[in-house]
Chains A and B, each alone.
Chain A
Amino acid sequence: MTIALRQPGPTGTTLPVAPKVPPHPGTVSLARSSLLYEWKRYLAAVLAVAFSGLLVIVQVGLLVGMFATATQVVDRARADLWVVEGKTLSFDLARDMPARIEMRLRAHPAVATVQSMAITGGDWRGPGGGKVLVLVTGFDVTDGSLSLPRDFDEAKRLALREVGAVIVDEIDLAKLGVGVGDIAEINGRRVRVVGTTSGMRAIGGANVFASKATVASLSTSPGSGAETQSYFLIKLQSPDAVDAVQEQLQALSSGDEFKVLKPDELSVMTQLYWLIESGAGAGFGFSALLGLIVGIAITSQTLRGAILTSLREYATLRALGVPVRALRRVVMEQSLWVGLAGLLVTAVTTWVVAALAAAATVAIAFPWWSMVGTAAFTLAVALVSGLFSLRPLYRTEPAELLR
Chain B
Amino acid sequence: MTMHALVPSPDATRATPAVTARGVDKSFGAGAARNHVLKAIDIAIHPGELTLIMGPSGCGKSTLLAVLSGLLRPDAGSVEVLGTALWDLDDDGLDAFRLAHCGFVFQGFNLFGALTALEQVMLPLNYAGVTGRAAVEQAYAALCDVGLGPQAGLRPSELSGGQKQRVAVARAFVKDPALVFADEPTSALDKENGQVVVGLLHRAARERGATVLCVTHDPRLVAHADRLLRMEDGRITADGPAPAAPSGHSPY
Q: Which residues of A contact B (CB under 8 A)?
A: 1, 3-7, 9-15, 18-19, 21-22, 24-28, 30, 33-34, 36-38, 310, 312-313, 315-323, 326, 398-399, 401-403
**Could you tell me if B126 and A28 are in contact, using CB atoms closer than 8 angstroms?**
yes
Give the interface centre of B115, B145, B153 by most chain A CB atoms within 10 Å. Answer: B145
- Residues of the A chain whose Cβ atoms lie less than 8 Å from the Cβ of B208: 10-11
Partner of B192, one of A1, A6, A19: A1
- Residues of the B chain whose Cβ atoms lie less than 8 Å from the Cβ of A5: 203
**Could you tell me if A37 and B113 are in contact, using CB atoms closer than 8 angstroms?**
yes
- Residues of the B chain whose Cβ atoms lie less than 8 Å from the Cβ of A30: 112, 114-115, 123
B75 vs chain A, min Cβ distance (A)? 14
**Could you tell me if A22 and B96 are in contact, using CB atoms closer than 8 angstroms?**
no
A3 vs chain B, min Cβ distance (A)? 4
**Could you tell me if B174 and A316 are in contact, using CB atoms closer than 8 angstroms?**
no
Does any Cβ of A come within 8 Å of B133's Cβ? yes
**Could you tell me if A312 and B108 are in contact, using CB atoms closer than 8 angstroms?**
yes
Given that A11-B142, A313-B110, A321-B100 are contacting pairs, would A27 and B71 also be in contact in the complex, using a CB cutoff of 8 Å? no
**Could you tell me if B147 and A4 are in contact, using CB atoms closer than 8 angstroms?**
yes
- Residues of the A chain whose Cβ atoms lie less than 8 Å from the Cβ of B62: 402-403
Convert B142-181 into 0s and 1s, putting 1 for each residue whose CB lies closer than 8 angstroms to a CB of A.
Answer: 1011110100110100000000000000111111100000
**Could you tell me if B123 and A317 are in contact, using CB atoms closer than 8 angstroms?**
yes
Given that A316-B104, A316-B106 are contacting pairs, would A11 and B115 also be in contact in the complex, using a CB cutoff of 8 Å? no
**Could you tell me if A26 and B144 are in contact, using CB atoms closer than 8 angstroms?**
no
**Could you tell me if B141 and A13 are in contact, using CB atoms closer than 8 angstroms?**
yes
**Could you tell me if B155 and A315 are in contact, using CB atoms closer than 8 angstroms?**
no
Our count of residue pairs bridging A and B at CB distance below 8 angstroms stands at 174
Given that A6-B147, A7-B144 are contacting pairs, would A12 and B136 also be in contact in the complex, using a CB cutoff of 8 Å? no
Number of interface residues of B (CB under 8 A): 70
Question: Which residues of B in the span 20-68 have a Cβ within 8 Å of any Cβ on A?
Answer: 62-63, 65-66
CB closest chain-B residue, reference A38: B114
Partner of B99, one of A13, A310, A320: A320
B154 vs chain A, min Cβ distance (A)? 11
CB closest chain-B residue, reference A35: B114
**Could you tell me if A11 and B147 are in contact, using CB atoms closer than 8 angstroms?**
no
- Residues of the A chain whose Cβ atoms lie less than 8 Å from the Cβ of B92: 323
Does any Cβ of A come within 8 Å of B200's Cβ? yes
- Residues of the A chain whose Cβ atoms lie less than 8 Å from the Cβ of B72: 399, 402
- Residues of the A chain whose Cβ atoms lie less than 8 Å from the Cβ of B147: 3-4, 6-7
Give the interface centre of B69, B113, B142, B203 by most chain A CB atoms within 10 Å. Answer: B113
**Could you tell me if B119 and A33 are in contact, using CB atoms closer than 8 angstroms?**
yes
- Residues of the B chain whose Cβ atoms lie less than 8 Å from the Cβ of A19: 140, 144, 149
A17 to B145, CA, bound (A): 14
Given that A11-B141, A319-B104 are contacting pairs, would A34 and B207 also be in contact in the complex, using a CB cutoff of 8 Å? no
**Could you tell me if B110 and A398 are in contact, using CB atoms closer than 8 angstroms?**
no
Partner of B122, one of A26, A315, A321, A322: A26
**Could you tell me if A402 and B111 are in contact, using CB atoms closer than 8 angstroms?**
no
- Residues of the A chain whose Cβ atoms lie less than 8 Å from the Cβ of B132: 25-27
Q: Which residues of B contact A (CB under 8 A)?
A: 62-63, 65-66, 69, 71-72, 92, 95-100, 102-104, 106, 108, 110-115, 118-119, 122-124, 126-128, 131-138, 140-142, 144-147, 149, 152-153, 155, 170-176, 183, 192, 195-196, 199-200, 203, 207-208, 215, 252
- Residues of the B chain whose Cβ atoms lie less than 8 Å from the Cβ of A401: 104, 106, 108, 110, 183
Partner of A1, one of B137, B141, B196: B196
- Residues of the B chain whose Cβ atoms lie less than 8 Å from the Cβ of A317: 123-124, 127
A33 vs chain B, min Cβ distance (A)? 4
- Residues of the A chain whose Cβ atoms lie less than 8 Å from the Cβ of B136: 21-22, 24, 26
- Residues of the A chain whose Cβ atoms lie less than 8 Å from the Cβ of B252: 1
A-B contact pairs, 23 of them (CB 8 A): A5-B203, A11-B145, A12-B138, A12-B141, A18-B137, A19-B144, A24-B136, A27-B126, A28-B119, A28-B123, A30-B123, A33-B115, A33-B119, A34-B114, A38-B114, A312-B106, A312-B110, A313-B112, A316-B104, A319-B106, A320-B98, A323-B92, A399-B72
- Residues of the A chain whose Cβ atoms lie less than 8 Å from the Cβ of B200: 4
Q: A27-B132, A33-B114, A319-B106 are in contact. List 11 more A-B contacts (CB 8 A).
A: A10-B176, A21-B136, A24-B136, A27-B131, A28-B123, A37-B113, A312-B110, A319-B102, A320-B99, A321-B95, A321-B127
**Could you tell me if A14 and B141 are in contact, using CB atoms closer than 8 angstroms?**
yes
- Residues of the B chain whose Cβ atoms lie less than 8 Å from the Cβ of A399: 66, 71-72
**Could you tell me if A37 and B137 are in contact, using CB atoms closer than 8 angstroms?**
no
- Residues of the B chain whose Cβ atoms lie less than 8 Å from the Cβ of A21: 136-137, 140
- Residues of the B chain whose Cβ atoms lie less than 8 Å from the Cβ of A9: 141, 145
- Residues of the B chain whose Cβ atoms lie less than 8 Å from the Cβ of A33: 112, 114-115, 119
- Residues of the B chain whose Cβ atoms lie less than 8 Å from the Cβ of A11: 138, 141-142, 145, 170, 173-174, 176, 208
- Residues of the B chain whose Cβ atoms lie less than 8 Å from the Cβ of A26: 122, 131-136
Give the interface centre of B112, B134, B174, B192 by most chain A CB atoms within 10 Å. Answer: B112
**Could you tell me if A402 and B122 are in contact, using CB atoms closer than 8 angstroms?**
no
- Residues of the B chain whose Cβ atoms lie less than 8 Å from the Cβ of A13: 138, 141, 176
Given that A27-B135, A28-B119 are contacting pairs, would A4 and B149 also be in contact in the complex, using a CB cutoff of 8 Å? no
Give the interface centre of A27, A28, A313 by most chain B CB atoms within 10 Å. Answer: A28
**Could you tell me if B203 and A4 are in contact, using CB atoms closer than 8 angstroms?**
yes
Partner of A310, one of B66, B108, B112: B112
- Residues of the A chain whose Cβ atoms lie less than 8 Å from the Cβ of B97: 321
Partner of B145, one of A7, A24, A322: A7
- Residues of the B chain whose Cβ atoms lie less than 8 Å from the Cβ of A28: 115, 119, 122-123, 126
**Could you tell me if A15 and B137 are in contact, using CB atoms closer than 8 angstroms?**
yes
A148 vs chain B, min Cβ distance (A)? 63
A139 to B131, CA, bound (A): 71
